[in-house]
Structures are given as structure tokens and as C-alpha cells.
Structure 1
Amino acid sequence: MQGEGPSLGRRCAFARLGGCNLSCRWCDTPYTWDWTGRSDTGIAYDPKKELRAIPYTEVRDHLVGYDVPLVVVSGGEPLSQQTSLYPLVRDLRGSVHDVEIETNGTIAPDPRLAELVRFNVSPKLAHSGDPKNRRIVGNALAAFTEVPGTAFKFVCRTEADLDEVGALVEQYGLHSVWVMPEGRNQAALDRSFARLRDPVIARGWNLTTRLHITMWGDRRGV
């Protein structure tokens, strides 16, 4: 199931890519990039165990075999590999799959890719721990606003985070804004959701939970 954003609850298959140009301390997939233990888990993952190169045709056939209408490409940061990603997406669209790409919004999309997918862009806020000049790239965000169907999804903890979101929305003309509570377990999600629910509605934005956490907790491979 897609657990977040506009397609929440849709049956899907995931393709998860390794490597990221950011280092969010609360990241829920640090095993895709954290080789030094910088995230909140404190675990230094081994890239030799976590990552492997697979021909895109093999990935394509595996995803098609799930027999679901939607494929979600996540990471890490998928657009770091968008040139290699294009033939996979092209073939999936040719087999009548919808494709979504989850991205942190720091890398402008290849126009060829933008014609085939919907982007779920998740700019990172100050609480991610990265400096603003790394996590907010204006020309990239501007490029995403020109792609039809793009959704902008922000991970928030408190009402104060919404002021930061509002400043980005105004500065870059972001549309289709979604706010998602941060949390790797149900208790943390519930706390954040309770704080955010009413202020998000008052601002006229969309609100999404993390359905996969409700269904399976903080498990890998689901």
C-alpha cells in the first residue's frame, strides 16, 4: 500500500534506491544512505550489505510481477539516479502502470521523466538537521511547480513547523500542499497528528498520515 500523500491506500509496489544527498536525522530509511551513523538510530549501515546493482529489466519484471496498478520509486534520493531510472519508468508506463517518484526536491527533474510520472516532493525543514542551502534548492523547487500533478509533502512535528512550510509555499509558489506527521511508530505519529490536525485544516492544506506504520509498524520490506 502507498502509505502517504495523495495516493494513500492505493495498492502498489515499491522500488527503493540507495544513496541520498541529504542526511535527515529522523530518516526512516537510513539503511539506504547512512554509512557513518549520523541518523537518530546511531547505526552505521554497511553499503556492501544494503546496496546491490540490478539490471533495470530485472527490476521491471519483478515489479510487473506484483500485478498492481501503481509503482512508487523511493529512496534514498531517486533523482540522483534519474538518467538510469528513465528506461525503467518508460517500460512501466508502457505496461500501463502509474508511477510516482518520492523526492526531496533538491534535484530538478529530467523533462523526459516528468512527462511520465507524478512527483511527491518532500522539501526538508530545519528539524531534519541539514543546513538550508543543502535542503532547499530554489531552482529545483521551481521546476517541480511546472510539472502537472506534483504534490509537495512536508514532514512536521509541531505547529511551529507549519510556519516554516508557509514561508516556503509563499516564496516558491508551491501548490497541492500535504502535511505529514513525523514518527517511526504509531505512538509518535499519534502525538504529532494531534498537534497538527486542526492548524493544518485551518491553513487550507491537505493532511496525510503514514498508513504503513499503522499497518505494520517500523518494519522493512512491507
Structure 2
Amino acid sequence: MTTSEPVDIDLAAGDAALRLIVAECFGVEVPTFQGEGPSCGHPALFIRLSRCNLTCTKCDTKYTWDWSRFDPRKESTKRTVVDLLAWATSSPVELVVITGGEPLLQQTRLVPLVRGLLAAGKRVEFETNGTLAPMPELAVDGVLFNVSPKITSFGMDEAKSVVPAALEAFAASGRAAFKFVASSVADLDHIAELANAHRLAPVWVMPEGTTAEAITAATRVLADAVSARHWHFTTRLHVLAFADARGR
């Protein structure tokens, strides 16, 4: 069981010195929840990595990649694996969400971090856009991938955002849930096409919106059609609870 006592993690010297490009970490000093997907409502810690390989127009974390609007020197820092492990294991919260940006851009350096978190009794969820297949060292017990392919309505060219080989690798891992942002029933029809083409399951649908009003409106548009397809439905709890405040 995870405790707030320091945890002795056996890392190789090289692993301990590895640095990750981090946008922010939160959930220790001010508690919060996982706001989306299969673990919605669970207490969670967040390690948000910087940098992304996509440029979605509706992205709500552009401070991790849009350097036309944000200064990377102010929006990101380099933190060692040991530092991040010490931060995460200072809290009794079990769930650690590694998100972005696109966290799997740094997946080689994430292997020792994930190993350390699991050894400390944590469980790990990755929030990923599904364009990069996970390394086998990350697809292990205690890890779940919340894979969120970005469709055209989210403001991204699917020639770049839908990578069949990567999606099929996630599906084959048995450790993935596929979470799609939608705002219309037409979006659901397209999601069904993608899910059937690449054998993606389970499918979760999340209403688009960065305000409680927008999420409520999209939920009412989508709910009947999602339930008719026997898919899962998730809200965006952090938006409803904390008005989409950064670091919550």
C-alpha cells in the first residue's frame, strides 16, 4: 500500500539522472481527481509532460506545445526521475496520470519512472493521442492507456492524427481504453467507423467543452446515441468541479 513515507526505489544511476520535460505536476499540494475516462472521479496525481506531435485547434493544453502563444522557457522545466518519484510518493494517492502534450514522445525516459511508481504501489494511466505505439516496457500490469485519437471535428488532419499501426498496437496490448471527444451524432458515426476499422474497444465518448454549460449541452446531444451503441460515456469532472482551472 502506498503511504506518505519516503519509498526507497532501486534505480540505476543512469535512470535516476534521466530528465523529463515537464509542464506541471499537481494533485499533491491541492488534491484533485481524474476527470475523464474509466477512472473518472478517482483521486489522482498528475504529471503533465511538455511537447506534442499534433497541433489540434481545440486543444486545451496549448501551453505544452504552441510556442507562437507560449514561451517554452516559462512553460516547461526538466525534472529528474528521482525528483518526480519523490514528489509522487509523498502522497498516499494511488493513481498517477501521466499526460501532456503527448507523453509518449518521451517514453524511453518514462520507463524508469513507471517502474518506480509501480514499485511504490501506484497505478499509472497514460493520456495519449494514440499516434505512437507504446514500448513493451510500459505495457505492463498496473498501467492503463487512455487513448484519445483526434478526429477532424477536433481540429486535426486525420492523416496525421489517426495512425492505424499505433492504434492496433494499443488494442493488442489489452491495456487500452479508447476515448473520443465528440460534439455531434455525426461524430459518433465516424467514431464507429474508426473503432470497427481498427478493432478499438472499449470505446468511451466524452462531450466536447471547456465550460459546464458546453459539456451539459453536448451531453444531452450525445447521450441517447452513445447508450444505443452500448459504449461508455464520461464527463469532464475537472471542468464541472473546478471550472477548468489549470492545475486542478
Given that residues 48 and 99 in structure 2 are in contact (C-alpha distance below 8 angstroms), is that contact kept between their aligned partners in structure 1? yes
- Please name the residue that 2:99 is paired with: 74
Q: Secondary structure in 2 aligned to 1:3?
A: coil
- Please name the residue that 1:115 is paired with: 140
- Please name the residue that 1:24 is paired with: 56
Structure 2 residue 237 is the aligned partner of structure 1 residue 211: yes
Structure 2 residue 170 is the aligned partner of structure 1 residue 144: yes
Given that residues 34 and 40 in structure 2 are in contact (C-alpha distance below 8 angstroms), is that contact kept between their aligned partners in structure 1? yes
Superposition TM-score, scaled by structure 1 size:
0.95
Shift, 1:128, TM fit: 2.2
Q: Which runs of 4+ in 1 moved over 3 A?
A: none
- Please list, as runs of the form range in 1=range in 2, the aligned pairs for 1:127-138 lying within 5 A after superposition: 127-138=153-164
Distance 2:158 2:37 in 1: 24
Distance 1:185 1:130 in 2: 21
Structure 2 residue 35 is the aligned partner of structure 1 residue 3: yes
Q: When you count strand as a share of all residues, which structure comes out higher?
A: 2
Distance 1:196 1:213 in 2: 18
Structure 2 residue 83 is the aligned partner of structure 1 residue 58: yes
1:108-141: CA deviations, max 9, x gaps? 0000111141100000110122211100000000
Q: Secondary structure in 2 aligned to 1:183?
A: coil
Distance 1:188 1:129 in 2: 17
Distance 1:219 1:59 in 2: 22
Structure 2 residue 126 is the aligned partner of structure 1 residue 104: no
- Please name the residue that 2:3 is paired with: none
- Please name the residue that 2:13 is paired with: none
Q: Secondary structure in 2 aligned to 1:151?
A: strand
Q: Secondary structure in 1 aligned to 2:97?
A: strand
Given that residues 139 and 175 in structure 2 are in contact (C-alpha distance below 8 angstroms), is that contact kept between their aligned partners in structure 1? no
Superposition TM-score, scaled by structure 2 size:
0.85
Shift, 1:12, TM fit: 1.0
> 5+ residue gaps in structure 1?
37-43
Between the two proteins, what is the percent identity of the paired residues? 47
Distance 2:175 2:63 in 1: 30
* Counterpart selection for 1:12 from 30, 44, 49: 44
Q: Secondary structure in 1 aligned to 2:77?
A: coil
Q: Secondary structure in 2 aligned to 1:180?
A: strand
Residue type of the alignment partner of 1:81: Q
Structure 2 residue 195 is the aligned partner of structure 1 residue 169: yes
| Number of equivalent positions | 215
Shift, 1:64, TM fit: 1.2
Shift, 1:149, TM fit: 3.1
- Please name the residue that 1:39 is paired with: none
* Counterpart selection for 1:158 from 181, 184, 193: 184
Q: Secondary structure in 2 aligned to 1:16?
A: strand
Q: Secondary structure in 1 aligned to 2:170?
A: helix
Q: Secondary structure in 2 aligned to 1:209?
A: coil
Distance 1:81 1:149 in 2: 19
Distance 1:218 1:115 in 2: 31
